[in-house]
Structure 1
Amino acid sequence: MTGTTDDGEGDGRDGILQNDPHRRVVRVGDTVRRPAAPWTPAVHALLAHLAAAGFPYAPRPLGFDERGREVLTHIEGEAGPAGWARIVDDAGLAAFARLLREYHEAVADFTPPPGAVWSAGPRPRAAGEIVCHGDFGPWNVVWREGRPVGLIDWDHARPAPARHDVAYALEYAAPFRDDAEAVRWLAHPGPPDRPRRIAHFCAAYGLPSADGMVDAVARAQRETTEVVRRLAAAGHEPQATWAAEGHLRELDDRVAWTLAHRHLCEPGDRE
């Protein structure tokens, strides 16, 4: 979303990037300004690590402005709802998976600062875990000329097994949605071949097989629902509004869909 901000820069590059009443995100010149949260310091430590590791796709943290907003570098390109169409063909789907793998490689040796607070709560990184992006969907990838050039919106980063990010991404990349929704809203030209898409994503990411991924997706869906429920109960927005509007029931329904439509997502004949 674009428009004029009240930030006084006036260089023609300013605009509202997200005008959610609970999180107004604006562009000011070559920077993005976002409301800070309790987990912002931990996220900035993560982004600083990625910059030092040479990961080129994440915004760089630039501290805070006079209004207390976090300041990040702006990544030029196409993001948001347009991202769904970018992962429909095999090339875009593979690029999406490789981006996730590159992130996981870059973050593998990141040690969160002591007492780090994440959106899911304060939690140390356990053995065998990394700090996952936590919201690796096509809407959070920035695209230019058909290829990913950025990965944004790190608010849900948190320690978890790398497989959580993979399963979370596959919910949307497969997608784990009805055929009608995949065609009408997610830019698929016809009913998606979910088993083939899951296998293609996993191969591009570097997994030896896609075994167990349906259960992994259902598990990631449950974990995401619990995070939203905890944030809503603590009064964080927009999660509190989501809960008030019945969004938690929708998230529960997604788990039920995944388990009821296993036959659409695992190798074998579609019923």
Structure 2
Amino acid sequence: MSVAEEAEEEVLQDRADRHVVRAGATVRHAVQPWTPAVHALLEYLADAGFAYSPRVLGVEPGTGGAPDTEILTYIEGESGPDGWAKVVDEDGLRAAARLLREYHDTVASWAPERPPVWAGGATGAGGPGEVVCHGDFGPWNIVWDGVRPVGLLDWEYAAPHPPWYDVAYALEYLAPFRDDEVCVRWLRYPVPPDRRRRVAIFAEAYGLPDTAGLADSVIEIQRIGLDFVRQLAAEGHERQVTMVAEGHLDELAERIRWSEEHRHLFD
């Protein structure tokens, strides 16, 4: 890292398991076992002309026992907590759905020669009816310019699934599948949202023929998410171990219960 880059270093995320910094026009964090798979995906997206993914600049060898560091391009814009307000706006909601569809259409043609190995142990780029899903498509991982997406971040949970996996995951947060108090107090809604309308807007912008089965798909994704946290904790992943120790599985189970009891708000 150059002296100039060191002077401009900014901490973007500081979890025990994930320390991410910006250094000039780059983003840097420690290499993980699934980093080669993510890099292969990002390189394919760059070659395919997908404008929203960060570009891989290389890997910097660690010194003194430190892990290697991956280096990606930094995408200017608003992200993280600022993303919630962007999708309250229906134009932002439509734009998020179109971004997801563009990603799915782009990645559908990916056929890597060497099967990538993803977080959680899945391999390959998907069988019939599957694509490599982003896996964490929420408003916080979109980079925004106003209500226009300009980037898509954090590909660490990418893995092969049917496209509805990403659609349902996104809808949990974009409909959203949360109670009125959470929507108004935390998710930037001025009044409780019309969830059924928002599901329909997303479905149309993504290109679905209707909204049939989407609420059930979201609940299924919530159950899969709970099981995935439990799996990663059992494998010793630090973040998920902490989540389980802090009772996060109970919180996820409560979200599932709420979704089941309030399905009528979405169908």
Instruction: Give the TM interval when normalised to the shorter protein.
Output: over 0.9
Taking a change above 3 Å as real, the CA distance of residues 62 and 82 of structure 1, as seen in their structure-2 partners, is same
Corresponding residue for residue 150 of structure 2: 149
Aligned-residue identity in percent: 56
Corresponding residue for residue 17 of structure 2: 22
The aligned amino acid for 2:210 is: S
Q: Is the CA contact 2:87–2:147 (under 8 Å) kept in the aligned structure 1?
A: no
Q: Is the CA contact 1:42–1:113 (under 8 Å) kept in the aligned structure 2?
A: no
Q: Name the CA distance, whole Å, in 2 between partners of 1:223 and 1:114.
A: 27
Q: Name the CA distance, whole Å, in 2 between partners of 1:116 and 1:101.
A: 22
- Match of 1:122, SS? coil
Q: Name the CA distance, whole Å, in 2 between partners of 1:140 and 1:114.
A: 27
Are residue 258 (structure 1) and residue 259 (structure 2) matched? yes
The aligned amino acid for 1:132 is: C
TM-score (norm. length: structure 1):
0.92
Structure 2 portions without partners, runs of 5+: 63-67
Q: CA deviation at 1:222?
A: 1.1
* 1:223-246 Cα deviation digits (max 9, x unpaired): 112221111111113111111111
The aligned amino acid for 1:189 is: P
Corresponding residue for residue 236 of structure 1: 237
Q: Name the CA distance, whole Å, in 2 between partners of 1:12 and 1:91.
A: 38
Structure 1 portions without partners, runs of 5+: 1-5, 267-271
Paired residue total: 261
Q: Is the CA contact 1:45–1:113 (under 8 Å) kept in the aligned structure 2?
A: no
The aligned amino acid for 1:185 is: W
Q: Name the CA distance, whole Å, in 2 between partners of 1:27 and 1:75.
A: 10
Deviates more, 1:245-254 or 1:129-138: 245-254
Q: CA deviation at 1:66?
A: 2.8
Are residue 62 (structure 1) and residue 63 (structure 2) matched? no
Q: Name the CA distance, whole Å, in 1 between partners of 2:2 and 2:216.
A: 47
Q: Is the CA contact 2:39–2:56 (under 8 Å) kept in the aligned structure 1?
A: yes
Q: CA deviation at 1:61?
A: 1.2
Corresponding residue for residue 41 of structure 2: 46
**What RMSD over aligned residues (CA atoms) do the two structures have, in Å?**
1.5
Q: Name the CA distance, whole Å, in 1 between partners of 2:240 and 2:233.
A: 5
TM-score (norm. length: structure 2):
0.94
Deviates more, 1:131-140 or 1:219-228: 219-228
Q: CA deviation at 1:21?
A: 2.1
* 1:7-38 Cα deviation digits (max 9, x unpaired): 84447542111111221100111110011111
- Match of 1:70, SS? strand
Taking a change above 3 Å as real, the CA distance of residues 7 and 84 of structure 1, as seen in their structure-2 partners, is farther
Deviates more, 1:123-132 or 1:184-193: 123-132
- Match of 1:78, SS? coil
